[in-house]
Amino acid sequence: MKRHKKVVMLALVTFIVLAMVGCGSNNTGSGNAAGEKIMFASDASYAPMEYMDTDTIKGFDIDFIKAVMEEAGMDYEVKNTGWDTMLSSVKQGTEYQAGLSSVSITDERKETYDYSIPYFESTNMIMVKEGSPIKSALDLKDKIVAVQGATTADDLMSGIMGVDNADLRRFDSNAVALMELNAGGADAVVADIAIVREYIKNNPDQKFTGIVDKENFGSEYYGILYPKGSELKAKLDPAIKKVIENGKYAEIYKTWFGEDPNTNNLLNAN
C-alpha cells in the first residue's frame, strides 16, 4: 500500500513538472519563442567579409553580426550555404531567416526580399594583371571578363558588355572567377572592392592590380537579407544603428580594413 502511494505521488509530481515545462515553452520574451535561434545563410567565399578558416566562418560580417545580435539579445547561427542556396532559402524563410553575405541593396532584389538598414559601403573594382592596358570599366567592352553570377558586378558588366555576351564569364563564386584570371582564361575580374584588395594583398607574387572606376561603378550598400514581411527587420535595425553609433562598428571595421569607416554615409543612406 505504501508503495502504491509512492507511485501515485511520483506520477502526480511528474504531471506537474511536465505542465510547468509546457507553459515555459510558450514564453515569447522579445517576440521569439523561448530558445529560438535565428539562422543566417551565407556564402563564405568573400574574404575578408566572410570566409572559411578550416571549419569556422570568419570575417568582417561575422564580427559585425555578433555585435548586432548581442545588442539585440538574440541567439543566432551563421552557416555557409553558397550564394544561390542562400538566395533561395532566405526567400522561403523556413530553414534560414536571414542572409548575411555582402549582399548589395538593389531595387531589383527589393522586389523579392526585405533588407536591413545599410551596414557597409562598397563599390565594384576591376582586377587585372600588372601592365594591362585596361584602365576603366569601358575598356572591358571587348575583353573577357570574369564575374560571380547574380551579383551587382554581373549586372554592371551586363550593361557594359551586353547580357548575352559570351566574353562575360559568370562563375559560382568570386574565388573561381579569380582563379580564371590567374589561369589566363580572362582579361579581368570585376568584384567588390574589399574582395579584390584582399586577394591582391594575399597574393603579391601573382602581380595583380586593382582599378577603381567611380564614374562607372558607384557606391553600393550591403544589407542583411530577409524574406518579404520578416519581423526581424524591426528587431535588428535598431541594434544595427546602435552598433554603428556607439563606436563598436568602427572598431570592427578598423580591425579588418586598417582604417576608419565613413559612418555618416551609412546612417544617411537609409
Least confident range of 6-10, 122-126, 254-258:
6-10
User: Binning pLDDT at 50, 70 and 90, where does residue 11 land?
Assistant: very low
Q: For residue 34, what pLDDT is reported?
A: 53
State the Cα–Cα distance between residues 183 and 179, nearest whole angstrom. 6
State the Cα–Cα distance between residues 169 and 180, nearest whole angstrom. 9
State the Cα–Cα distance between residues 237 and 223, nearest whole angstrom. 10
Flag whether pLDDT at 27 surpasses 70: no
Q: Which three cell numbers stand for residue 19?
A: 505542465
Asked whether the beta carbons of 220 and 123 are under 8 A apart, the reply is yes
Asked whether the beta carbons of 252 and 64 are under 8 A apart, the reply is yes
Flag whether pLDDT at 31 surpasses 90: no
Cis peptide before 204 (omega within 30 of 0): no
Q: For residue 270, what pLDDT is reported?
A: 73
Residues 6 or more apart from 155 whose CB is under 8 A from it?
106, 108
With vertex at residue 208, the alpha carbon angle to CA 46 and CA 255, rounded to the nearest 5 degrees, is 45
Closest CA relative to residue 97, chosen from 173, 42, 34: 42
User: Binning pLDDT at 50, 70 and 90, where does residue 26 land?
Assistant: very low
- What's the whole-number mean pLDDT along residues 54-72? 98
- What's the whole-number mean pLDDT along residues 232-261? 97
pLDDT, greater one: 24 or 181: 181
Tell me the DSSP string of the chain.
Answer: -HHHHHHHHHHHHHHHHHHHHHHHTT--TTTS-TT-EEEEEE--EETTTEEEETTEEESHHHHHHHHHHHHHT-EEEEEE--HHHHHHHHHHTSS-SEE-S--B--HHHHTTEEE-S--EEE-EEEEEETT-S--SGGGGTTS-EEEETTSHHHHHHHHHH-TT-TTEEEESSHHHHHHHHHTTS-SEEEEEHHHHHHHHHH-GGG-EEEE--TTTS--EEE--EEETT-THHHHHHHHHHHHHHTSHHHHHHHHHHSS---HHHHHHT-
Flag whether pLDDT at 171 surpasses 60: yes
